[in-house]
């Protein structure tokens, strides 16, 4: 079935360093969403990308959707301890067999102060 | 606070038993989704209901079933429990029926431990 792969699984950075997580789909996606889950918390919606090649920014976070709509990335500039958590991408496959979001396994970010 | 509530917060039960997890969506949301989160499998979509009707099905075992009631709250029933069913179960809600296209609001989750 359709899969969304996310790498790396873990990332440890020093505060102030940059961080990037990558998401790849086996099939073309209709859209992609990104969620953040703090330790002990629940996933919280960050953003949705819909258009091919789309780039969106939220303060220090930059989200990209690939031209072929099969991959996406989240880049955090100058990480802070508040960025700690697991970042999930979730691909939309409208019309697919599941008809719903397919989550990657997430990238767990730890930030050393 | 997402506005989605889930009860109970924690549940400990034995193998072979049956449990019911409950979810109340955000006010006005018609779609409810259930997810299972385990350490090695990430977030697995189980099932979606929209306004009382099943809308989409994911990797839900036959031992699991769900329903959405007229007041829009939902219940996930897990039966013949196995050790491998131990996980965090999240409920999420959204306003519309397209589960892939609208922001989903997650509840705090129910941690199920099967011993």
Q: What is the pLDDT of residues B8-32, one digit of tens each?
A: 999 999 999 999 999 999 999 999 9
Q: How far is B58 from chain A (nearest CA, A)?
A: 6
Residues A8-57: pLDDT tens digits?
Answer: 999 999 999 999 999 999 889 999 999 999 999 999 999 999 999 999 99
Which residues of B lie closer than 8 Å to A, measured between beta carbons? 2, 33, 35, 41-45, 48, 55-58, 90, 92, 98-101, 103-109
- For the four alpha carbons of B114, B104, A95 and A4, in that order, the dihedral sign comes to negative
Separation between Cα atoms, residue B23 and residue B7, nearest integer Å = 7
Mean pLDDT confidence for A81-92 = 95
Backbone angles phi, psi at A54, to 5 degrees: -65, 140
In angstroms, the CA A64 to CA A48 distance is 10
pLDDT score at B99: 66
Nearest C-alpha of chain B: how many angstroms from A66?
18
Name every chain B residue with its beta carbon within 8 A of the beta carbon of A103: 35, 42-45
Q: For chain A, report the end-to-end CA distance as a whole number of angstroms.
A: 41
Label residue A74 by pLDDT band (50, 70, 90): very high
A33/B contact by beta carbon, under 8 A: yes
State the sign of the Cα–Cα–Cα–Cα dihedral B19, B16, B45, B8: positive
CA dist., res. A88 & res. A85, Å (int): 10
User: A49 — contact with chain B (CB < 8 Å)?
Assistant: no
Please, are residues A88 and A23 in contact by the beta-carbon 8 Å criterion?
no
Inter-chain residue contact A31 with B101, CB threshold 8 Å: yes
Which of the four pLDDT bands, split at 50, 70 and 90, describes residue A94? low
Q: What is the mean pLDDT of chain A?
A: 92
CB distance A105–B98 less than 8 Å?
A: no
Report whether pLDDT(B41) > 80: no
Task: Answer whether B100 sits within 8 Å of A100, measured CB to CB.
Answer: yes
Write out pLDDT tens, residues B80-104. 999 999 999 999 999 877 766 788 9
């Amino acid at each position: 079935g359709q899969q969304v792969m996310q790498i790396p699984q873990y990332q440890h950075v020093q505060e102030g360093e940059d961080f990037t997580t990558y998401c790849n789909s086996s099939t073309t996606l209709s859209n992609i969403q990104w969620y953040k889950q703090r330790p002990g918390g629940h996933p919280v919606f960050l953003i949705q990308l819909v258009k091919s090649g789309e780039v969106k920014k939220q303060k220090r976070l930059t989200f990209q959707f690939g031209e072929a709509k099969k991959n996406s990335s989240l880049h955090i500039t100058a990480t802070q301890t508040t960025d700690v958590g697991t970042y999930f991408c979730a691909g939309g496959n409208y019309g697919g067999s599941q008809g719903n979001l397919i989550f990657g396994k997430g990238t767990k970010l730890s930030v050393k102060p | 606070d997402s506005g989605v509530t889930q009860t109970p917060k924690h549940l400990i039960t034995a193998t072979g038993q049956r449990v019911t997890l409950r979810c109340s969506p955000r006010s006005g949301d018609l779609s409810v989704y259930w997810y299972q989160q385990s350490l090695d499998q990430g977030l697995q979509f189980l099932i979606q209901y929209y306004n009382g009707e099943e809308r989409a099905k994911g990797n839900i075992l036959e031992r699991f079933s769900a329903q959405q009631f007229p007041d829009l709250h939902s219940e996930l029933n897990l039966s013949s429990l196995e050790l491998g069913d131990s996980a965090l179960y999240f409920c999420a809600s959204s306003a519309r029926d397209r589960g892939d296209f609208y922001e989903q609001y997650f509840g705090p989750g129910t941690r199920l431990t099967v011993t």
